[in-house]
Amino acid sequence: MASIKFPRAGKNESGASWRFAPSRDKAQGEQWPPRRLLHVPTMTSYERDSNNRYNGVRNPQYNAISYTWGRFENNKYPAVKILGVTWKIPGIDPTHFSVAEFEAAIRHTAEDKAWIWLDIACIDQENAAIKLDEINRQAEIFGKAETVYAWVTPWTTSRMLTAFQTIELFSQSLGRSLDGNAKVPPPISNLRIDLNSAYHVFTEIAQLGWFTSLWTLQEAFLCHPFFLSRSCDAVPLTSFFQGKYRNQLPYPVGLMWLAGSSRNIWDDLRWNASPQAQAICELIHDSGLLALSFLKNAYMLYPAAAKRKYREPQDAVYGIMQVYNLRMPAMNDANKLLTKLALSLNVNNALGAQIFVHQTPPNTLLDAWKLARSSHVPFQFYNELQYVPDGSIAGTPSGRPSFRGRMTGLEQLASRWDEVIQERRGPAQPQHPRLPFRPAIYLDATASAPCVALELEATPAAPDAPDIGPSYEKYTQRWPLRQLSRHLPHALDKYNVLYLGTIRFSAPPTKHAPDVQWRLEYSIGLLVRQEVSGKGKSWARVGFSSWCTEAQRITGIRQGVSTLGKPDRVRIPTEVWGVSECLIG
């Protein structure tokens, strides 16, 4: 297939003018411009002066390019010529990209602007202090860029186009329409669409440098880059969605389309027992595409970062810290750096930072409060969450977290859960359907047992709601609530629950009920126990618990005239909770 050049601007079939839209919204708030920018017409790197001018130009608009080169550095080959720098520009193995291709990508990224931000031209590669400072400012740099392109080398235009077409057609074959509209028969295509073809496409994507680089993972999270092939071709979105939007603005295919499409496929295949289906789900998860889908869950990012390629273990922290708006000092100890990151996340948002399970045992029980390489966010929380914190976590001189807030015993909380189940017995009113009340306990893996999610239900069990998707994991077990003590390694009175607050989110419509959505609110508690009992002794995390406190059914969402059902609320009396302060870990 010959290289395809797509127009940058023009008129659609209705005669309206168009051009590719910015890849992200402009950054909000007061921000410093980049230390340097590359002036593309002269290929000169200019440093910002005290008046925010670059070679006399004050605060110019600029684009940015996200790409990979570190693993492909080879100074046997010539480097692109950049004027105005004091450091050596690295040569790159031409199998990854040539100097001529690099120059073409720079010009393409600039579009009609004179300036771009390009790491090797704008970050002093030989000054460690400046380099760390610029790493600490990636959110600002990409946030101020007008448009960001992901130059995915060595992906050819034909391979990129085939991959995108395969992903769309495969998703349609599963019954998905990527824009949420009703499925229509897929267009005639000579592409083979089956599990095998989808597996090969996601394998190809997962092996590309841009999708394995740690630094591009952060860049992808900070912006919504549009994809460019090795020859700088973009694919307009009008080629997709079965051509239904050809009369609208032809934006390029970018990360958000790919991540959203991958999420849809993952949703459909996660329960498929086929080894290839499971391999596809693993590729989507490990590549970070799941974390980068529309929900953009930052707490799923570190496990994805830990699976990417980097030079030093601590890079897995430095490479994503800007997502959390954090700045970290230079440290050689990766474990201490991860502890510092984990503590910062818990101080900023203890509620969000504890919604995970350890799929492999932490090094010690006292380390369980920290996210890790094998941390897993349960599927139920793969949504855009609104956090309403209650308790708080603070740092201590010892580096361990300290909790302050409401606490209760698991035995007392389980008793209240049982009261709620008894109160809710009997059929719901047809005009006000409600979800079954199933509190859950998520237990981290230990040396003697794998992780498990215990969904606790009434006896006899209430039927599932027909218009909400399954939220259980492969490690989910359903048991009667009154049998809870049989499924815990210690007696109920050995566990306490630290109340962290509530999360709110909308459960996406299902294929079986595409016109129905549920707004949900869940309370979250950190499950802890003491290895050495006594006042002032630390409590170690063993998992977390969740229970639904409000559910509201919404119908008519696809017609644009939504009807809100009556909210179904559950409240745990305040007398169940006492105020407490304790060390964790």
pLDDT digits (tens, 9 = 90+) for 148-167: 999 999 999 999 999 999 99
d(C-alpha 173, C-alpha 183), whole Å: 9
Please report the pLDDT score of residue 223 as a whole number.
Answer: 87
Please report the pLDDT score of residue 22 as a whole number.
Answer: 47
Please report the pLDDT score of residue 191 as a whole number.
Answer: 60
Asked if pLDDT for residue 20 goes beyond 60, the answer is no
The domain locations on the chain are: 21-151, 176-223+237-332, 401-583
Asked if pLDDT for residue 13 goes beyond 60, the answer is no
Asked if pLDDT for residue 296 goes beyond 70, the answer is no
pLDDT band of 250, cuts 50, 70, 90: low
Please report the pLDDT score of residue 190 as a whole number.
Answer: 55
Please report the pLDDT score of residue 2 as a whole number.
Answer: 35
Residues 528-534, mean pLDDT to the nearest whole number: 89
d(C-alpha 265, C-alpha 259), whole Å: 10
pLDDT band of 77, cuts 50, 70, 90: very high
13, 246 contact by CB (below 8 A): yes
**Token match 């006399």: residue?**
56
Helix H or strand E encompassing 358: strand 357-358
Asked if pLDDT for residue 181 goes beyond 60, the answer is no
Please report the pLDDT score of residue 399 as a whole number.
Answer: 82
Instruction: Express each pLDDT in 220-247 by its tens digit.
Output: 988 889 999 999 999 887 766 655 555 5
Residues 190-208, mean pLDDT to the nearest whole number: 88
* Gap between the terminal Cα atoms of the chain: 58
Please report the pLDDT score of residue 314 as a whole number.
Answer: 87
- DSSP designation for 547: E
Please report the pLDDT score of residue 90 as a whole number.
Answer: 94
Count other Cβ atoms within 10 Å, centred on residue 298.
Answer: 17
Distances (CA, A) of 374 to 286, 301, 505: 11, 11, 25
Asked if pLDDT for residue 396 goes beyond 50, the answer is yes
- DSSP designation for 254: B
Lowest mean pLDDT among 242-246, 360-364, 417-421, 515-519: 242-246
Higher per-residue pLDDT: 90 or 534: 90
Asked if pLDDT for residue 412 goes beyond 60, the answer is yes
Higher per-residue pLDDT: 424 or 63: 63
Residues 26-38, mean pLDDT to the nearest whole number: 72
138-171 b/e (C-beta count within 10 Å ≥ 16 → b): bbbbbbbbbbbbbbbbebbbebbbbbbbbbbbbb
pLDDT band of 178, cuts 50, 70, 90: very low
pLDDT band of 326, cuts 50, 70, 90: confident
Please report the pLDDT score of residue 523 as a whole number.
Answer: 96
d(C-alpha 342, C-alpha 570), whole Å: 32
- Cis bond upstream, residue 154 (ω within 30): yes
- DSSP designation for 300: G
Asked if pLDDT for residue 11 goes beyond 50, the answer is no
206, 310 contact by CB (below 8 A): no
Higher per-residue pLDDT: 527 or 223: 527
Please report the pLDDT score of residue 8 as a whole number.
Answer: 44
d(C-alpha 141, C-alpha 521), whole Å: 36
Asked if pLDDT for residue 380 goes beyond 50, the answer is yes
Residues 304-316, mean pLDDT to the nearest whole number: 86
Long-range contacts of 481-489 (CB under 8 A, 24+ apart): 481/414, 481/417, 481/418, 481/421, 481/439, 481/456, 481/457, 482/418, 484/414, 484/441, 484/454, 484/456, 487/452, 487/454, 488/441, 488/443, 489/446, 489/448, 489/449
pLDDT band of 485, cuts 50, 70, 90: very high
Structure pTM? 0.84
Q: How many helices (H) and strands (E) does the chain have?
A: 14, 24
pLDDT band of 75, cuts 50, 70, 90: very high
Asked if pLDDT for residue 563 goes beyond 90, the answer is no
Lowest mean pLDDT among 38-42, 349-353, 371-375, 508-512: 508-512
Lowest mean pLDDT among 38-52, 90-104, 202-216, 293-307: 293-307
Residues 507-512, mean pLDDT to the nearest whole number: 79
**Phi–psi pair at 583, nearest 5 degrees:** -85, 145
354, 346 contact by CB (below 8 A): yes
- DSSP designation for 248: S
